[in-house]
Structure 1
Amino acid sequence: MQTILGAGGDIGKFLATALRTYTSEIRLVGRNPEKVNDGDELLSGDLLNAAFVQDAVKGSEVAYLTVGLAYDVTVWERQWPVIMKNTIEACVQQHCRLVFFDNVYSYSKTAIPMMTEESPIDPPSRKGRVRARLLHMLEAAAAADGLQYLVARSADFYGPGARNGILNLLVLNNFKKGRRANWQTNAYKIHSLTYTPDAANATALLGNTTAAYGQVWHLPTSEERLTGKQLIELAAGQMKVKPQYSVLSPLLLTLGGLFSRTIKELREMQYQNSQDYYFDSSKFKKAFGVEPTGYAEGIRQTIAAG
């Protein structure tokens, strides 16, 4: 049995498909889980409930923590440590390996132009400090309780049906509606994006590779160094629209934050958009020989998926 905790998100559904390569017993856990494969076992509940998480992990060889909370730092600070504590305790008691699907928020500001698995953990944001705390919890559990875990880390992502994908939200969805695309802070800076099917396939592979545990892995991401403007132009060319876009400057985000909680939450993360943002996944490529999907093909498949 392999279990996905937070199975309803942008990664969870692709991960459920990818896991069929390794097991026929897949449990999907969430508030309202839906079957992806015919034989999936569904379990509804709240990961903030420790007893429920124990039941969710019971009998599992591997658990994948892919939950996505509301983009609200107060929610993150209140709920993420509880979810991680419950998950760690369940995995230790059930002798289950843990795969944590992570983002880059915990990295230092100076690491963003060239992120590797060795980049320093020194986040400048509140949301980043939450992510760093989760990593410390995992390290402590490994040292004290023998938890077997790995970190599968993704850059900002995009892909078919990605409700929270940066490229989906700012560019593709707007073009579909006949609107101008948007970009944050500076469209002339490089910005790596991880394709969600690649991320899911790689996460499944890592979870089923014993030697991968005890390590941080950057999930396969295109080596192309495209700027926001180039990504917008690539998408516009495929959608046969003009590559018109607006830049959401820090001032606009500040003003917009007066009326939108989501926009307000973006302000502290603009250090990731005011400089190059390059995510190196050469470690994964070297270890597994997997080539990430290029942006042209990834955007084509995302558009085709509707």
Structure 2
Amino acid sequence: MTDRHLVVGAGPVGRHVAQLLAARGSDVTVATRSGTDTGITGVAHVTVDASDVDALTAAAEGCSVIYNCANPADYTTWKEFWPPLAAAFLGAAERTGAVLAITGNLYPYGPVEGPMHEGLPDAATDYKGKLRAKMWADATALHDQGRIRAVEVRGSDYVGLGVGDNGHVTRQIPGALKGKRAWVIGRKDQPHSFTDVLDTARLLIAAAEDESALGRIWLVPTNRPVTQEEAITQVLASVGRPAVKVSPTPRAVFAAASWFVPIVRELKQLSYQWTAPYIVDDSAARTHFGMEPTPWDEVCRRSAVV
């Protein structure tokens, strides 16, 4: 296996993957539609339309792994964004023989009772969950046929360095650091798993390079669940700042906004995640990879960087 890697996407996961690979001396290229320079020493950058299978294949030639760390800038455009991109990833993986390592999420499971684990069916009924479930089903079908090698890593809502507006907790931190009240979706008192974006990158690399780990889903090692209020309070405390008032967005306000604000309408479909316990059972990955999550205090300190 060569030690060349193509990371598609320069968001929080892609940057962490690139940084980890570069730090160990691997040959790393980050591909984005705009040619974004991550500023990471030793990492090359190329401009690629990853939904173009020929362009993606050319960028991935000679690579051992293609990392799908892409994410649409507009949360409301998944129907247009993902199908051609997912198809191109499958095509490039088949043409080059590179492992396809997919950054997934928990949406495919839909509402669940009890902790989420890899043995649960992908049973979502909302369109985002069904779309992500189909992406993995398509990859699994080709993997089972021996046409590609693929693995998917799923984490819960991200916290950690660089997550910013992409995280339910981290988007509250800039205001909270100024003493402003934090308004959260759903309930503020339900236990919720928050996954460190760095741990997602760590597992993505480990799974991609472990032949025995391919062909299945792995849930990222994640710290014990906390409530949204606890998470925000603990991030502030990690940098010596006082707690702020944390309040749930009134249901009437949230419902009314969904009629006029597209992203709120999208979030409404997934609001079940914030009204009941939403907990990850990561025991399979911990056992297989011998991997523990980054200590929560450290995660909180990095989540406070804005």
Does the alignment reach a TM-score above 0.5?
A: yes
Alignment of structure 1 residues 147-296 onto 2, 5 Å: 147-163=148-164, 164-169=166-171, 171-222=172-223, 224-238=224-238, 239-296=240-297
Partner residue of 1:97?
Answer: 99
- Deviation sequence 1:105-140 (CA, Å, 0-9, x none): 0003125x4101111211021111110110111022
2:97 alignment partner, SS class: coil
- TM-score where L is the length of structure 2: 0.92
Cα distance, 1:126–1:249 mapped onto 2, change above 3 Å: farther
- Deviation sequence 1:144-200 (CA, Å, 0-9, x none): 45210111111111111213122101x312212431112211111111000111211
Cα distance, 1:64–1:202 mapped onto 2, change above 3 Å: same
Q: Which moved more, 1:230-239 or 1:127-136?
A: 230-239
- 2:131 matches 1:130: yes
Counterpart Cα distance in 2 of 1:59 and 1:45: 16
Would you say the 8 A contact 1:71–1:265 is kept in 2? no
Counterpart Cα distance in 1 of 2:134 and 2:225: 31
Would you say the 8 A contact 1:156–1:193 is kept in 2? yes
Partner residue of 2:83?
Answer: 81
Structure 2 residue aligned with 1:52, among 15, 40, 55? 55
Alignment: residue pair count: 300
- Deviation sequence 1:22-41 (CA, Å, 0-9, x none): 55211110023214443322
Counterpart residue identity of residue 233, structure 1: T
Would you say the 8 A contact 1:250–1:267 is kept in 2? no
Counterpart Cα distance in 2 of 1:39 and 1:234: 35
Aligned residues: CA RMSD: 1.8
Would you say the 8 A contact 1:233–1:243 is kept in 2? yes
Counterpart Cα distance in 1 of 2:199 and 2:180: 29
Counterpart Cα distance in 1 of 2:74 and 2:109: 18
Q: Which moved more, 1:269-278 or 1:289-298?
A: 289-298
1:26 alignment partner, SS class: strand
Would you say the 8 A contact 2:21–2:28 is kept in 1? yes
Structure 2 residue aligned with 1:62, among 49, 61, 65? 65
Residue ranges of structure 1 left out of the alignment (5+ in a row)? none
Counterpart Cα distance in 1 of 2:75 and 2:60: 27
Percent identity for Structure 1 against Structure 2: 23
Counterpart Cα distance in 1 of 2:201 and 2:27: 17
